[in-house]
Amino acid sequence: MVEQVYENIHRIEVPLPKNPLKAVNSYVIRDPERNLVIDTGLNRKECRDVLLEGLRELGVDPGRTDFFITHLHADHSALALSLAGEGAVVYFNGPDYDRVAGKRGSWDDIVQYAGRNGFPEDELEAALKNHPGYKYGSKFDLPLTLLSDGDVIEAGGFRLQCVETPGHTWGHLCLYEARKRILFSGDHILGDITPNIQLWSDRDNPLEWYLESLERVDGMEVDLVLPGHRRIFQDCHGRIRELKEHHRARAEEILGILGGGTRSAFMVAAEMTWDIDCDNWDDFPVSQKWFATGEAIAHLKYLTEKGKVRKEDRNGIILYSLADG
Predicted local confidence at residue 104, as pLDDT: 66
Q: What is the rounded CA–CA span in Å between residue 12 and residue 106?
A: 32
Predicted local confidence at residue 16, as pLDDT: 93
Predicted local confidence at residue 325, as pLDDT: 53
Give the pLDDT confidence of 29-44 residue by residue, as tens digits.
999 999 999 999 999 9
Predicted local confidence at residue 141, as pLDDT: 76
Asked if 117 and 264 count as a contact pair (C-beta separation under 8 A), the reply is yes
Predicted local confidence at residue 58, as pLDDT: 96
Residues of the chain falling short of pLDDT 50: none
Q: What angle do CA 155, 161, 165 make, to 5 degrees?
A: 130
Predicted local confidence at residue 134, as pLDDT: 63
Q: What is the rounded CA–CA span in Å between residue 236 and residue 146?
A: 27
Q: Which domain holds residue 103?
A: 2-322
CATH number for the domain including 78? 3.60.15.10
End-to-end CA distance of the chain: 54
Predicted local confidence at residue 123, as pLDDT: 86
Predicted local confidence at residue 85, as pLDDT: 80
Residue 239's closest CA among 299, 27, 199, 230? 230
pTM of structure? 0.94
Tell me how many domains the chain contains: 1
Integer angstrom CA distances of residue 292 from 141, 157, 195, 260: 30, 41, 12, 20
Q: What is the rounded CA–CA span in Å between residue 194 and residue 210?
A: 12
